[in-house]
Amino acid sequence: MNNSSKRSRWIIFITILIAGVLLWLAFRGIDWPEFLSTIQNARLEYLTLVCLLTSANSLVRSLRWRVLLSAERWIGTLDVFWAMMVGYMGNAFLPARAGELLRSVALSRRTQISAGFVLATALTERILDAGVLVLIGSVALSLLPEAPLALLDAGKGMAILSAVGLAGVFTLPFLERPIRWFLDRLPLPSAWKSKLSSFLEHFLLGMRSLRHVGRALGFFTLTIVIWLGDAIVAITVAHSLGLTFSVPIALLLNVALGLSSAIPSTPGYIGVYQFVAITILRPFGFTNGQALAYILVFQALGYILITLWGLLALWRLKLFGQLSGMVSK
C-alpha cells in the first residue's frame, strides 16, 4: 500500500470519527417525542416554498460566479448554473469538497475556458465568501442581546480579523513578486513549495477578476443578496415546523453552518450540521429536539434539491458518461 492510499484511509477514518463524536454529542438529551411531534407538524406548503426559494438562490449564486468568470469572457447563465449544480451534488455525496473540482472541470469542458482559470475563480469565490460570512455573523451577533457574552466577544474579534483578512486578500495580487520570493526561501520540502506555489498562482488568477470595480461591486452585492436569501430560507423552514427564527438568528445559524463545512466531514456534513445547529440554537431558547428536527428537515430538502438539479445538470451538460473519469482525476 503506497503512502497516498494510507493517507486517504487515515483521512476517511478521522472524518468518520469526527462525525461519530459530533453525532453522539448532538443526540445526547434529545426529547424524542418532542422531536417526532415537531417533524410530524411540518407544513407542506412552506416546504414547497423553501424548495422554490433555494432553487432561486442557487441561480443567484451562479450569477455571482459568472461575475468572476466574465474576466475571461461572457458565459451563459445556464451553463454556469448547471456546472454549479454538478459541483453541489459532488460536495453532497463525495468527500473532500470534490464538487469544487467537478464544477470547474464541467464548466471548462462546456465553455473551452482554461480549467485553471475556472478553478481559480471557484477558489476565490469560496475564500471571499468565508470572509463575508464572518462579518455577517458578527453583525448578527450584535443584534442578539440574548447572545452569550462569550459569543459576542468572539464575534467582535472575528469581525476585526475578517476585515483585516479581506483587505489583505485584495492586496495580495499586487504583492505577487515578494510573496514568491518569500515562498522560495521557506525551509520546506520542494513538493510542499510546489503545492503552495500552485495554490498561490490559482488564487491570484481568480483574485485578478475583481480588479475591475464593476465586477467587485457586483460580486459583493450578489453575496449580500445570497445570504439574505439563505436567511429567508432558514426562517421559512423553521416556520414550517412551528418554530420562530428572527433574521439575526437565521443569519447566525447559516454563518455557523457555512463555516463548519470547511472542517473535515462526511459527505453532506452528517454529524457536523447536527452538532452546529444544536449548539447555536440552544442559547436562544430552542430545545435539542427542535434544533435536531429543524436541521434534519433542512438537510433532507437540500439533498432532494441538489440531487434533482444535479442529475438534470449532468444530463444537460452530457456528463453522465464522463463523470467517473472526472471524479478519478
Say if 310 falls within a structural domain: yes
Residue 305 confidence (pLDDT): 95
| DSSP state letter for 288 | H
Say if 205 falls within a structural domain: yes
Contact (Cβ atoms closer than 8 angstroms) between residue 72 and residue 113? yes
Q: How many domains does the chain have?
A: 1
H helix count then E strand count, the chain:
14, 0
* DSSP codes joined into one string, 298-317: HHHHHHHHHHHHHHHHHHHT
**Distances in whole angstroms, Cα of residue 128 to Cα of each of 87, 104, 167, 169, 220:** 18, 17, 11, 8, 9
Residue 235 confidence (pLDDT): 97
Say if 7 falls within a structural domain: no
Please give the average per-residue pLDDT across 219-236, as a whole number: 95
Contacts for 105 with CB less than 8 Å, ≥ 6 apart: 115, 118, 326, 329
Residue 83 confidence (pLDDT): 94
Least confident segment among 16-20, 69-73, 237-241: 16-20
Q: What are phi and psi of 14, to 5 degrees?
A: -65, -40
Say if 196 falls within a structural domain: yes
**pLDDT tens string 184-206:** 888 888 888 887 787 777 777 77
In the block, cell 471571499 appears at: 128
**pLDDT tens string 50-104:** 999 999 999 999 999 999 898 888 889 999 999 999 999 988 887 667 788 889 8
Domain containing 86 equals: 34-328
d(CA 203, CA 38): 44
